[in-house]
Amino acid sequence: MKIGLLLNTPALSPCEVVNELDFIKNTGSRHFEIVYDHPITHEKLSVVEKFLKSNKDFTSAVHAPFVYTDILSISDEHRKYSLDEIKKAIVFAKHIKSVLVVFHAGKITGYNKNQLNYDAFTKLVNFAEAEGVSLAVENMSAKAGFIRSNFVFEKEGYELFEKYPSLMMCLDAGHTIQAGEDVMKFIEKFHEKIINIHLHDADIDTHKGHMALGRGKLNTVAFLRKLKEFEYDGYITLETLNRKDSLHSYNVVNEILKLQT
């Protein structure tokens, strides 16, 4: 498995993107996941492209826009906008030869009778296939009530993977904790579809996530052991939000993997 860090481009200026890429390189990692979300600027994307051209040993993944997108929206205009935004991320990923694109499936409300809009998924999956880009849907921390933040993955995820064989999964370990789900069972059920992992600690009691490993409820040792049990050889993005937490988590993962060899 390849361990990478998050490049949170919306929060960075072009100069800060340069510095963040240097930081990632200095950790020893050779992989990162780009948050392709607004504010997106040509200058920021050019910095990333230039870095990858100069560092051939690096791989990258792209996280499609998620703040204002919802491909399950009951609004035709919003759904079209959302699809167009994610398609732009797919095109960019192809341009810089990224290994995959991660996206959020969207929200289900009482208005759409808790049904998936397969038309949106069909358009997105077909577009990714035509571009030759691997597409991975991410599990979210579902919220009860009139609006569910994403579908129930254990039920509707099966439906998606059966309908779209090329669609893969990005397992977010922290989101499973926040949703009160068993991350080990997620691995057991979906290990054949998982190609990317968002790894961060979380706490269901406070609903906090994106914490350094060891600060929440995730049993990192058991989690990594379970991945090795199923011979996982995909990518892991440490989805922490500052350098201190990222470096701490990167070192924790590498130390555990050494002991489990």
What is the domain-level CATH number for residue 115? 3.20.20.150
pLDDT at 158: 78
Global pTM?
A: 0.95
Q: Compare 71 and 220 and report the one with higher pLDDT.
A: 220
Better-scored residue on pLDDT, 179 or 62: 62
Q: Kindly state the average pLDDT of the residues 229-257.
A: 98
Weakest-pLDDT range from 116-125, 165-174, 193-202: 116-125
| Position 164 confidence tier, pLDDT thresholds 50, 70, 90 | very high
Q: In sequence order, which residues have a C-beta less than 8 Å from that of residue 5 and are 6 or more positions away?
A: 24, 27, 29, 31, 32, 33, 237, 238, 246, 250
Confidence of residue 148 (pLDDT cuts 50, 70, 90): low
Q: What is the DSSP string of 145-184?
A: SSEESS--IIIIIHHHHHH-TT-EEEEEHHHHHHTT--HH
Rounded average pLDDT over 23-52: 98
Contact 45, 92 (CB under 8 A): yes
Is pLDDT above 60 for 54?
yes
Helix or strand holding residue 104 (H, E): strand 101-104
Do 140 and 102 contact (CB within 8 A), yes or no? no
Q: 211 with 245: CB under 8 angstroms?
A: yes
pLDDT averaged over every residue in the chain = 92
Q: How confident is the model at residue 118 (pLDDT cuts 50, 70, 90)?
A: confident
Q: Which domain holds residue 197?
A: 2-259
Lowest mean pLDDT segment, chosen from 112-126, 173-187, 219-233: 112-126
Structural domains in the chain (count) = 1
Q: Is 221 helix (H, G, I), strand (E, B) or coil?
A: helix
Q: Which H or E run includes 190?
A: helix 183-190
H helix runs in 196-242, sequence order: 220-229
* 206 Cβ contact list (under 8 Å, min separation 6): none
How does residue 125 score in pLDDT terms, banded at 50, 70 and 90?
Answer: very high
* Residue of higher predicted confidence among 205 and 113: 205
